[in-house]
Amino acid sequence: MNAIECKDVCFSYGEEGGFAISHLNFSVEEGEFVAILGHNGSGKSTLARLFNGLLEADAGEVDIFGVKLDEKTLYEARKRVGLVFQNPDNQTVASIVEDDVAFGAENVGLPREEIGQRIRFALSAVGMEEYRSSLVSRLSGGQKQRVAIAGVLALKPSVIVLDESTAMLDPRGRREIMQVVEKLNKEEHITVVLITHFLEEAMMASRAVVMNRGEIVMHGTPKEIFSRHEELLTYNLALPRIGEICKKLQAAGLGVRDTLDIEELAEDIAGELTCAS
């Protein structure tokens, strides 16, 4: 079953700029881990906001688990599709971690015991149990972002959409979030839509699409997309540094495979340098 399905969706912000999303067809299957790549202004964040009705499509329809998103189904859809945004500081509403995580669950009117259980579940899923009573303002960026994810998890969503949720974090924070996301997908079977401009993060997904000017211009496995790096450049997406090194070595005639993994690349380089050719 499709968790999210967009049928010929158009959206414009009502400026002369034209469509932010233009006749887009796209679906995400239940349990999938899909990455949406695109440079700034490609329409990827607009798309995320169409997935749970923060924005309403001008034309076409968005279906969530087969139900068309409209005014009546909006609130049900939001329980199923949770969004995590870029700036951790813009997503916290309470000063104590557990209050913040409880906010969404309280809002939908769950019974008190149930909320307690869900806070425990959500905080342990993101590895933040010990910070339950901490001040949100004292946490690092990565920790705040994990609290934001916990707040979404407390609603037991089927789909989590992360809109550049690692962009403002340092490398450690970024790794923390990616580990949590991978675990949620594998162990909790939550469908993940990861919006990013980092190809190395997209490598964790089972499928990736590239957006440009409100349209999907490339799709395939992350590896396939990576191997078409010249096409990526035309959409203003650069390879991560390791990809560049890999491509430059290939261009210089070294037999290394397409990879963004340090160990794999080192193995191939070592093979080239030590073989008795």
Partner 1 sequence: MRIVAEHLTHTYNAGSPFAVKALDDVSLTIEEGEFFGVIGHTGSGKSTFVQHLNALIRLPSSLKHYKKPKAKKGQLPPPEPILKVGDFDLSSRKTDFRALRKNVGMVFQYPEYQLFAETVYEDVAFGLKNFAEKGHAPTKEETDAAVKEALEIVGLDFQAVKDMSPFDLSGGQKRRAAIAGVIVTRPEILVLDEPAAGLDPLGKREIMELLHTIHGKWCKTVVIVSHDMDEIAENCTRVAVFSEGRLVYALPPKELFQKAEELKSLGLDIPLTAKLVLALKARGVELSCDFTTEGLLSAILERKEGKA
The residue ranges that bind partner 1 (CB under 8 A) are 39-41, 86, 140, 167-168, 170-172, 197-199, 236-242, 244-245, 248-249, 252, 254, 262-263, 265-267, 269-270, 272-274, 277
Strand ranges for the chain from DSSP E? 2-11, 21-29, 33-37, 59-64, 67-68, 81-84, 159-163, 191-196, 207-212, 215-220
Place of tokens 């933040």: 128
Closest CA to 125 of 79, 83, 88, 157: 157
CB of 231 to partner 1, least distance (A): 14
94/269 with CB nearer partner 1: 269
1/252 with CB nearer partner 1: 252
CB of 153 to partner 1, least distance (A): 25
183/229 with CB nearer partner 1: 229
Question: Which are the contacts of 134, defined by CB distance < 8 A and separation ≥ 6?
Answer: 96, 97
63/264 with CB nearer partner 1: 264
Report DSSP letters for 225-240, one per residue.
Answer: HHHTHHHHHHTT-PPP
97/199 with CB nearer partner 1: 199
CB of 219 to partner 1, least distance (A): 19
Closest CA to 61 of 3, 4, 19, 12: 4
Burial of 180 (0-12, 13-18, 19+ CB in 10 A): buried
40/133 with CB nearer partner 1: 40
CB of 262 to partner 1, least distance (A): 5
Closest CA to 144 of 157, 163, 154, 131: 131
16/71 with CB nearer partner 1: 16
Which residues does residue 84 pair with via DSSP β-bridges, in sequence order? 162
CB of 241 to partner 1, least distance (A): 5
CB of 41 to partner 1, least distance (A): 6
CB of 4 to partner 1, least distance (A): 24
Identity (one letter) of the amino acid at 110? L
Q: How distant is the alpha carbon of residue 199 from its chain centre?
A: 12
Which residues does residue 195 pair with via DSSP β-bridges, in sequence order? 36, 163
